[in-house]
A = this chain, B = another copy of it.
Amino acid sequence: MTKRNPDYDFKWCPGCGDFGVLRALDKALEERCEALSEPIENTVFVAGIGCSGNIVHLQDGPQPYGIHGIHGRTLPIAYGVKAANPELNVVVAAGDGDFLSIGGEHIGPAARRNLDIVCVIMDNGIYGLTKGQASPTTQLNVITSTTPLGKLDEPENPLELYLTNGVGFIASMVSTKPKDITKAILAGIEYPGLAIIHIQSPCTTYNDTYSLLKGDVKNGIEPLAIDLPESHDSTDYDKALTIARSNKIPVGILYSKKGSQSMNQKIATQKQSTNAPQRTVDELLTTLSLK
């Protein structure tokens, strides 16, 4: 996984939002490794399928472990990694199609387990890699190759869904602010439970929303993306829900639930408290013995 590999020549289109996300992520991993003097090999990067997922092959600098699997399955793969080794730092990267459409079924279970991972979601409101079909976050009436007359299905509000599924840490970001993203990723990694960094990462080729997000104040067009106020209390669920359900896209750390206990912590506590003994195969066979 190095972009210097001559046989690996994947490129994003010029201007693709994912470039900003990559920069932010590279930086976050670098800072983390430095801060903790942890080897980069302690990080496992689980990527979805899409333009976005190719981020796993494009990282600069020392390379973490990676899994670039099948479409939509980042979360259960990450669950397995954490189940096997709670010490690993697991980062999921996926697009809106991968994470919310075909992979949407895994968000609830991951949240209810409370996997201690961070998910970096690149939402461009479109299926980029398959050349421009509608995704769950494509807005109403938008014309794509699968909605030639305009999209009819209601768009999904991912922030609201994360909240009601019980995701404990939710940041909403734009790809044009990589420094914020870096901070959010680092905070998400720290957070003892499921953290999702949901990033507006426009697709210049099939759904260019840069100007929508930024607005055009001179011409009286309000920006869609609005920074959360300094005063925002990210531990307030109701507040977070209200903001998520507004018709603006908040930028900042929307929610950070207090007192979160990750899956591995819960399991460890339960094992300790019950003290159920692990019997060896020999002991188990003895319970079945006819002797």
Task: Chain B residues near A157: list those with CB within 8 A.
Answer: 164
B108 and A152 form a contact (CB under 8 A):
no
In this complex, what residue of B is CB-closest to A103?
A: B105
Q: Is A274 an interface residue (CB 8 A)?
A: yes
Task: Chain B residues near A164: list those with CB within 8 A.
Answer: 157, 160-161, 163-164
**In the complex with contacts A105-B104, A160-B164, A161-B164, A112-B149 CB distance below 8 A:** no
Shortest CB–CB separation between residue A163 and chain B, in angstroms?
8
Task: Chain B residues near A153: list those with CB within 8 A.
Answer: 109, 112-114
Q: Is A145 an interface residue (CB 8 A)?
A: no
Shortest CB–CB separation between residue A61 and chain B, in angstroms?
36
Identify which of B136, B152, B165, B266 contacts A152 (C-beta below 8 A): B266
Complex CA–CA separation, A258 to B87 (angstroms): 50
A112 and B270 form a contact (CB under 8 A):
no
Integer count of this chain's copies in the complex: 2
Task: Chain B residues near A161: list those with CB within 8 A.
Answer: 108, 164-165
Complex CA–CA separation, A154 to B193 (angstroms): 12
In this complex, what residue of B is CB-closest to A265?
A: B152
A112 and B166 form a contact (CB under 8 A):
no
Shortest CB–CB separation between residue A264 and chain B, in angstroms?
11
| A-side interface residues, number (CB < 8 Å) | 31
B112 and A136 form a contact (CB under 8 A):
yes
In this complex, what residue of B is CB-closest to A164?
A: B164
A112 and B276 form a contact (CB under 8 A):
no
Q: Please, what's the 1-or-0 string for A258-273, where 1 marks a CB less than 8 Å from any CB in chain B?
A: 0000010011001100
B113 and A270 form a contact (CB under 8 A):
no
List A68-121 residues whose CB lies under 8 Å from chain B.
101, 104-105, 108-109, 111-114
In this complex, what residue of B is CB-closest to A163?
A: B164
Complex CA–CA separation, A266 to B266 (angstroms): 47
Q: Is A39 an interface residue (CB 8 A)?
A: no
Q: Is A150 an interface residue (CB 8 A)?
A: yes
Subset of 27 A-B contacts with CB under 8 Å: A101-B109, A104-B105, A104-B108, A105-B105, A108-B136, A108-B156, A108-B161, A109-B153, A111-B154, A112-B153, A112-B155, A112-B156, A113-B152, A113-B153, A114-B153, A114-B154, A149-B271, A149-B274, A150-B270, A152-B263, A152-B266, A152-B267, A152-B270, A157-B164, A160-B164, A161-B164, A164-B164
Known: A101-B109, A104-B105. 5 other contacts (CB 8 A): A111-B154, A149-B271, A152-B267, A161-B165, A164-B164
